[in-house]
Amino acid sequence: MSDQGKTKLTRRDFLRAMGLGVGAAAITVAASPLGSETALAVNPSFEARHFADAAGRPQRPWWVKTVDQPTIEIDWAKMKRFNEGYKEELGTGTVRGKGFEAYVGTARTEELNAKSAAVIKDGILNNVPGYTLKDQAMNSSQSTRVAMSFLGPQKAKTPEEYGAPKWSGTPDEASRILRAALRHNGAATVGFVELDENTRKLIYSFDPDGKELVFTDDVVASETETQRLIPNIAKYAIVYTVQMSEETMRRSPTPLGQQTTGLAYKRHTVIQASIQEFLRTMGYMGLGASNINALAIAPAFGVLAGLGEMSRLNRMITPEFGPMVRCFVMLTDMPVATDKPIDAGIMEFCKRCKKCAEACATGALSFEDDPTWETRGPWNNPGHKAYFEDSTKCMTYWKEVGTNCGICFSVCPFAKKDKAWIHEWVKAGASTAPFVDGFFRSMDDALGYGAQKDCEEWWTLDLPEYGTDSSGMI
Amino acid sequence: MSEKYVIEIEKRPWYEWLLWAVWLFTQVVIVQNALASSAELEPRAALISWIAFFALLIVGGVIWFMRRSK
């Protein structure tokens, strides 16, 4: 009788309630015209908080571990500064621009260029999805960029012009302020690396336009007809990423897919010029890339700054956005607090996954089980272990399809949006239990991730600004 | 003279409750995955998640129905 008056929950009631609860949730969700607008889904919404530490470093997931050395081996003694612009006398350089012609021959280049133009024209005339006039127009819209320069616009007032001393503070404060400024201008993640005798080797010897990058004891940066002079006091690299839209990248290789990278580069030109002016008003120099893919090997700096890890793509993959970022570098003399590399299990995952290499239409990516020291050609820079790619095969395919290609980016299992809880658990699992990486890869295939999407459908989507979502971001 | 009936009620072991809790948690995760996959514009992942959800729901319902009279 002692239980009299108390409400007792029987097992039957409990089970019934459980079943009804789950069923009701399912019906509610199914009945909702926008299933995502429920409490169970992560709603994209504005989320503000303070930086996690004095230097503005983000609070990253527990499975992203800070380490002293990156997850690829580097032999600094064997590494040399790379000439990004192809140099005939050296026989090395990027496959972009003159390099491709030098590596595959003039006749082949002309043949491929003609083919590329024909594919684009045919796509427009025949309304090939992804190649229609509106897709090409979208691609064209990304070619409008803020002028890029090594020294920056130099229109902002300096502290002297305000009659004030230049900004001073601790390295932590400087990093935090720069992070805030960069994020506000559109950067996704930010890190800092100090230039020493090793990391200087990641600054190009020659820019893509052929100008030599020279370190100097001058205290002011300058530029001549043949050289860009970097003062030795500009010994800090600011590294940042700009998000790319997975939705358009998943439509690669098409002009609609191609403009994904174009948009990221365009946004970078605005960010770079803005931060150059920001630093100028603070009383410091901000040395930027004079054009696209100039100044430094940005992904290498990104890895050293802990923004991500190198991968089978031979590009950087971030824990937050996977490979769906572009990475950029600037130099400054503002003393900042530097960052360390990370180990999030990404490189280990790449060893087992190989999805990008399998998806690559031309077999340009490596199928080796482990990264190697051996490069695949003079377009690769030796001195570190990597999954080196055959860039001529890659570039040949670009020309055959008339656009660039992003298949390897879009099929990557790390290229996920952050809505489903399971993605975070899988990333944590990949970081801590590499033996299940194979299972994760199989599930990724089974669930249809990475499959090319319908280009015409994209024009019906109501997407966030720039087609990206930074709400869940650090 | 009234007849007497003996009703035996089997006490379910603790691990059965644990299994039902795991079932419920799995269902919640699968529903979240289905919803989130729709938000991520991943229709195949969403479809497979919904199929898994309803399959598990039916399995759970059948087991519950079979055992309720025990």
In a domain, A29, yes or no: no
The pLDDT score that the predictor gives to residue B22 is 97
The pLDDT score that the predictor gives to residue A39 is 44
Q: How far apart are CA A433 and CA A272, in angstroms?
A: 39
Residue in A19, A42, A447 closest to B44 by CB: A447
In a domain, A138, yes or no: yes
The pLDDT score that the predictor gives to residue A8 is 58
Q: Looking at beta carbons, which residues of chain B come within 8 Å of A461?
A: 41
Q: B17: nearest CA in chain A?
A: A11
The pLDDT score that the predictor gives to residue A473 is 47
* Helix, coil or strand: residue A328: strand
Q: How far apart are CA A344 and CA A350, in angstroms?
A: 12
Q: Tell me: the pLDDT tens digits for B16-56? A: 899 999 999 999 999 999 999 999 999 999 999 999 999 99
Q: Which residues pair with A195 in a beta bridge?
A: none
Q: Looking at beta carbons, which residues of chain A come within 8 Å of B36?
A: 36, 41-42, 419-421
Identify which of B46, B59, B18 has the alpha carbon closest to the alpha carbon of residue A40: B46
Q: How far apart are CA A371 and CA A385, in angstroms?
A: 5
- Judge whether B35 is closer than 8 Å to chain A, CB to CB: yes
Residue in B24, B41, B43 closest to A247 by CB: B41
Task: State the virtual CA torsion across B53, B56, B60, B62 in degrees, nearest 10.
Answer: 110
Q: Looking at beta carbons, which residues of chain A come within 8 Å of B53?
A: 26
Q: Give the strands of the sheet with A212-216, arranged side by side.
A: A212-216, A227-231, A222-223
Chain B closest-CA separation from residue A251 CA (Å):
13
The pair of structure tokens assigned to A105 is 């021959």
Choose, out of A13, A38, A40, the residue to mutate when testing the contact with B (most B CBs < 10 Å).
A40
In a domain, A111, yes or no: yes
The pair of structure tokens assigned to A69 is 């050395």
Choose, out of B40, B49, B53, the residue to mutate when testing the contact with A (most A CBs < 10 Å).
B40
Q: How far apart are CA A67 and CA A73, in angstroms?
A: 13
- Judge whether B26 is closer than 8 Å to chain A, CB to CB: no
Residue in A15, A26, A416 closest to B31 by CB: A26
* Helix, coil or strand: residue A281: helix
Q: State the DSSP H helix or E strand holding residue A212, giving kind and residue range, or none if neither.
A: strand A212-216
Contact A41 B36 (CB under 8 A): yes
The pLDDT score that the predictor gives to residue A4 is 46
Q: State the DSSP H helix or E strand holding residue A226, giving kind and residue range, or none if neither.
A: none
Q: What is the 3-state secondary structure (H, E, C) of A375-428?
A: CCCCCCCCCECECCCCHHHHHHHHHHHCCCCCHHHHHCCCCCCCCCHHHHHHHH
Q: How far apart are CA A243 and CA A245, in angstroms?
A: 7
- Judge whether B16 is closer than 8 Å to chain A, CB to CB: no
Choose, out of A11, A410, A460, the residue to mutate when testing the contact with B (most B CBs < 10 Å).
A11
Q: Which residues pair with A243 in a beta bridge?
A: A325
Q: Looking at beta carbons, which residues of chain B come within 8 Å of A464?
A: none
Residue in A11, A419, A461 closest to B36 by CB: A419
Q: What are residue A191's phi and psi, to 5 degrees?
A: -145, 170
The pLDDT score that the predictor gives to residue A35 is 42
Chain A closest-CA separation from residue B23 CA (Å):
10
Name the more confident of B58 and A36.
Answer: B58
In a domain, A422, yes or no: yes
User: What is the model's pTM?
Assistant: 0.89
Q: Which residue has the tokens 């980016």?
A: A409
Q: How far apart are CA A304 and CA A339, in angstroms?
A: 8
Domain total in chain A: 1
Q: Give residue A88's domain range.
A: 63-467
The pair of structure tokens assigned to A204 is 């190009």
The pair of structure tokens assigned to A404 is 């660039």
Contact A447 B45 (CB under 8 A): yes
The mean per-residue pLDDT over the stretch B49-66 comes to: 95
State ipTM. 0.85
- Report the DSSP pairing between strands A222-223 and A309-310: unpaired
In a domain, A248, yes or no: yes
The pLDDT score that the predictor gives to residue A96 is 86
In a domain, A42, yes or no: no
Contact B28 A26 (CB under 8 A): no
Q: A467: nearest CA in chain B?
A: B40
**Contact predicate A86/A102, CB 8 Å:** yes
The pLDDT score that the predictor gives to residue A56 is 94
Residue in A15, A247, A420 closest to B20 by CB: A15
* CB–CB contacts below 8 A, A to B: 82
How deeply is A128 buried, as exposed, middle or buried, from its count of CB atoms within 10 A (0-12, 13-18, 19+)?
Answer: middle
Contact B41 A35 (CB under 8 A): no
Residue B9 pLDDT class (50, 70, 90 cuts): confident
Chain A closest-CA separation from residue B4 CA (Å):
24
In a domain, A405, yes or no: yes
Q: What are the CA-CA distances from residue A434 to residues A65, A111, A420, A439 (Å)?
A: 15, 45, 21, 10
Distance in Å from the first CA to the final CA of chain A: 57
Q: Looking at beta carbons, which residues of chain B come within 8 Å of A15?
A: 20, 64, 68
The pLDDT score that the predictor gives to residue A130 is 97
Q: Give the pLDDT means over successive 10-residue stretches in chain A (474 positions).
A: 50 63 58 44 62 90 96 96 88 88 95 97 97 97 90 97 97 98 96 98 95 97 97 98 96 97 96 98 98 95 98 96 97 98 97 96 96 95 96 96 96 93 94 93 95 96 90 51
